[in-house]
Chain A
């Protein structure tokens, strides 16, 4: 199977506004990723054969001028969700589809994804898992893994829809809830599949995405319900000056974090106990040349995850460190999550991470 595409150049990757490339989107990352198109498993959940695509000679005639018109109905305006907010796998997929211009080739690519999608077992093809508004039958199953990331499985009786489902599953499976739920459907335009797909099928795609996001949120809320219940049970048992690592689950109580923050309040107006801990942990392990930790829990006040805690649930983290050198975006995020495991188990709900190497930051 030969897929013809041109080597992404800066001009080529101009589906993304220039501002985004220069400041945020690591071009080196882009080039590295698109040199060979392996469909890598995000987690080893799917049975894959890596698919290689023959490369065109190093000098393509010209960056296809029609690329933006054929692959997307309109050049993404700045009102579209910035690409780097999307899960890393989805960014990869978007780039792949953008470099494939011919609608027929896009179909072929889609069918490849579908073919490699792990089939869904019949018992999961329930009404709750069925996507509404689809001309064909589509099911999506979701559950949380041990890291509280959402794992998806999907199936469809139509091969094109299966391809779409596979695309979404690859993009979102194994990702944390907050990453999944903040994706807006804008990226569909970036894929350029809109041209190749009828309106009703597109709706199916959007509905699939919505169902996946809804399921992610539901799973999250359920998991948190379990957390806050045991929180209140353990309330009376803990003293406020010990932060006990308890393998039986969440050990830090609301009163504990209150205790902490009241202790430290005088020293640090901006960050509470958890924020400080996050900073310390990251500093210690990653030796960053730049580190920003911002508590944005107030933005999420009222949402299910915040209930039962005393703030300090959502953070923006920016880390610039040599430690990230040679690691993919996924690996970097995983690294940070692992370091902050304890926090995540004790009431930290979401991290919005920007993880760069010093060289990436200097390219701007």
Chain B
């Protein structure tokens, strides 16, 4: 149990060597902790084996970062919490929580408006957060980062601002059937208004969007391609660089939903050459209530405002107003200042670990999750199978035959304290396409450990047998 971990000195970024020394301490404590859990003898032995074997990638990142996340150390319904619903939202490290607290305790003030000390400091920190986002995704200018409430709002911004003024009747918008509702619905609304047409790319046999079909659908009528980077259900990764290239060839723009990629791997918007990219802070260890839109500066400069109000204006008269330059043009009203600063702190935290390290660890752990899930009889995991070429994200959406995912998730939560998600994961068209009403989903983040996966699998076996005994 985590409480047995030694009191770690306050450090932010464990270096590799430091990680290993922490590992030995933590792992021994974990081992002891697990022995005490009489209900999980299987897990204890698995843990012992895993940690004793030096060739196995010891979950050092998971173990070393867990102490930073206070929320993980609790019991739910009488069992230790196993939080594996990270695709829905991530947990926040103490550093981010502290950043928020410091903001409100030390320098909370409205930004861009005042000239007094607190206001200047708040503005500094807020803009510094913007620059951190810029650096994190390698944008070329911090003016290309527009803070929004979340990725959904960012997509709506593009749809209403860029879409309404650039789409004409008969224009085509290409999406995939696997898009999140936030990437579909705004475009449906706008397409209705302007008379544009939505075209959808289906999945191929590996349950991945069919890239060949995408290429075929592209034409001079295409004005924008809206795709996910990493699918929140299928765990597949799309070749964004290629897609952007093909889109530009036909004169179309590309908007990338990077909600499941930015938190888990390096994303370089200049390298990918995307026109728009959106992400949410709450999925990357940042607070809720803040997200961002990346847009190429010349694009943003050509777009009309989305929401009207203070901050986004230049001069206001009674009968008309003139508007500010981006990003302010798209940031009406008082922003979520503390939250933006919190996002900045989250980026600092993640950068300290290194996105490469996080990604590597998650590929490993995600593969482990996938393989262990296969041990459940009558299970179907959606998306492509992991291989050398196919690197899945560290999440698995699945269904067990004759067992409703909601029953599964309820029992897992009630009897085992395991938090997964069940439902359509805001991807109803995808589920319809796959021929199911709902699925269960387990999604990991870098602070999850092999033990989490083992506990989950053990609980899952128990759950499946419970319900099967009623057949």
| A and B are partners in one complex rather than unrelated chains | yes
A interface residues, Cβ below 8 angstroms from B: 103-104, 107, 111, 115, 135-137, 157-161, 196-198, 201
Contact of A135 among B406, B413, B467 (CB under 8 A): B406
Question: Taking the complex as formed, is B410 at the interface, i.e. its CB lies under 8 A from any CB of chain A?
Answer: yes
Contact of B437 among A104, A157, A159, A160 (CB under 8 A): A157
Q: Which among A115, A135, A160, A161 has the highest number of chain B CB atoms within 10 Å?
A: A135
Distance of A161 Cα from B422 Cα, bound (Å): 14
Question: Taking the complex as formed, is B407 at the interface, i.e. its CB lies under 8 A from any CB of chain A?
Answer: yes
Distance of A103 Cα from B414 Cα, bound (Å): 8
Q: Which residue of B lies closest to A161 (CB)?
A: B406
* Contact A135/B423 with A103-B414, A160-B406 known, Cβ cut-off 8 Å: yes
CB–CB A158/B404 < 8 A:
yes
Distance of A8 Cα from B101 Cα, bound (Å): 52
* Contact A159/B438 with A103-B414, A107-B411, A198-B413 known, Cβ cut-off 8 Å: no
Distance of A122 Cα from B237 Cα, bound (Å): 39
CB–CB A103/B415 < 8 A:
yes
Distance of A244 Cα from B446 Cα, bound (Å): 82
CB–CB A115/B470 < 8 A:
yes
CB–CB A159/B413 < 8 A:
no
Q: How far, in Å, is A136 (CB) from chain B's closest CB? A: 5
* Contact A137/B437 with A158-B406, A197-B410 known, Cβ cut-off 8 Å: yes
Point out the residues of chain A lying under 8 angstroms from B470, CB to CB: 111, 115, 159
Point out the residues of chain B lying under 8 angstroms from A111, CB to CB: 470
* Number of interface residues, chain B, beta carbon within 8 A: 16
CB–CB A198/B410 < 8 A:
yes
CB–CB B415/A159 < 8 A:
no
Point out the residues of chain A lying under 8 angstroms from B423, CB to CB: 135
Q: Which residue of A lies closest to B404 (CB)?
A: A158
CB–CB B415/A135 < 8 A:
no
Q: How far, in Å, is B81 (CB) from chain A's closest CB? A: 15
CB–CB B415/A160 < 8 A:
no
* Contact A104/B406 with A115-B470, A136-B438, A159-B470 known, Cβ cut-off 8 Å: no
Q: Which A-B residue pairs are the 10 nearest by beta carbons?
A: A158-B404, A135-B406, A136-B406, A158-B406, A160-B407, A111-B470, A158-B407, A159-B407, A157-B404, A136-B404
Point out the residues of chain B lying under 8 angstroms from A115, CB to CB: 470
Q: How far, in Å, is B431 (CB) from chain A's closest CB? A: 12
Q: Which among B77, B404, B415, B422 has the highest number of chain A CB atoms within 10 Å?
A: B404
Distance of A107 Cα from B411 Cα, bound (Å): 9
CB–CB A135/B438 < 8 A:
yes
Distance of A115 Cα from B410 Cα, bound (Å): 18
Q: Which residue of A lies closest to B411 (CB)?
A: A107
Distance of A201 Cα from B415 Cα, bound (Å): 16
Point out the residues of chain B lying under 8 angstroms from A196, CB to CB: 414
Point out the residues of chain B lying under 8 angstroms from A161, CB to CB: 404, 406-407
B interface residues, Cβ below 8 angstroms from A: 77, 404, 406-407, 410-411, 413-415, 422-423, 437-438, 466-467, 470
CB–CB A201/B410 < 8 A:
yes
Distance of A137 Cα from B466 Cα, bound (Å): 21
Q: How far, in Å, is B429 (CB) from chain A's closest CB? A: 17
Q: Which residue of A lies closest to B422 (CB)?
A: A135
Some 24 contacts from A to B, beta carbons below 8 A apart, are A103-B77, A104-B415, A107-B411, A107-B414, A107-B466, A115-B470, A135-B406, A135-B423, A136-B404, A136-B406, A137-B437, A157-B437, A158-B406, A158-B407, A159-B404, A159-B470, A160-B404, A160-B406, A160-B407, A160-B410, A161-B404, A198-B410, A201-B406, A201-B410
Point out the residues of chain A lying under 8 angstroms from B415, CB to CB: 103-104
Point out the residues of chain A lying under 8 angstroms from B406, CB to CB: 135-136, 158, 160-161, 201
Q: Which residue of A lies closest to B423 (CB)?
A: A135
Distance of A194 Cα from B446 Cα, bound (Å): 33
Q: Which residue of A lies closest to B408 (CB)?
A: A158
Q: How far, in Å, is A111 (CB) from chain B's closest CB? A: 5
Q: Which residue of B lies closest to A115 (CB)?
A: B470
Q: How far, in Å, is A269 (CB) from chain B's closest CB? A: 58
Distance of A39 Cα from B100 Cα, bound (Å): 56
CB–CB B410/A159 < 8 A:
no
Q: Which residue of B lies closest to A135 (CB)?
A: B406
Point out the residues of chain B lying under 8 angstroms from A158, CB to CB: 404, 406-407
Q: How far, in Å, is A38 (CB) from chain B's closest CB? A: 20
Point out the residues of chain A lying under 8 angstroms from B411, CB to CB: 107
Q: How far, in Å, is B438 (CB) from chain A's closest CB? A: 7
Q: How far, in Å, is B401 (CB) from chain A's closest CB? A: 13
Q: How far, in Å, is A7 (CB) from chain B's closest CB? A: 27
Q: How far, in Å, is A133 (CB) from chain B's closest CB? A: 12
Q: Which residue of B lies closest to A159 (CB)?
A: B407
Known pairs A157-B404, A160-B407. 14 more at Cβ < 8 A? A104-B414, A104-B415, A107-B411, A135-B406, A135-B423, A135-B438, A157-B437, A158-B404, A158-B407, A159-B404, A159-B407, A159-B470, A160-B410, A201-B410
Distance of A136 Cα from B437 Cα, bound (Å): 8
Point out the residues of chain A lying under 8 angstroms from B437, CB to CB: 136-137, 157
CB–CB B422/A159 < 8 A:
no
Q: Which residue of B lies closest to A104 (CB)?
A: B415
Q: How far, in Å, is A113 (CB) from chain B's closest CB? A: 11
Point out the residues of chain A lying under 8 angstroms from B413, CB to CB: 198
Q: How far, in Å, is B229 (CB) from chain A's closest CB? A: 28
Point out the residues of chain A lying under 8 angstroms from B414, CB to CB: 103-104, 107, 196
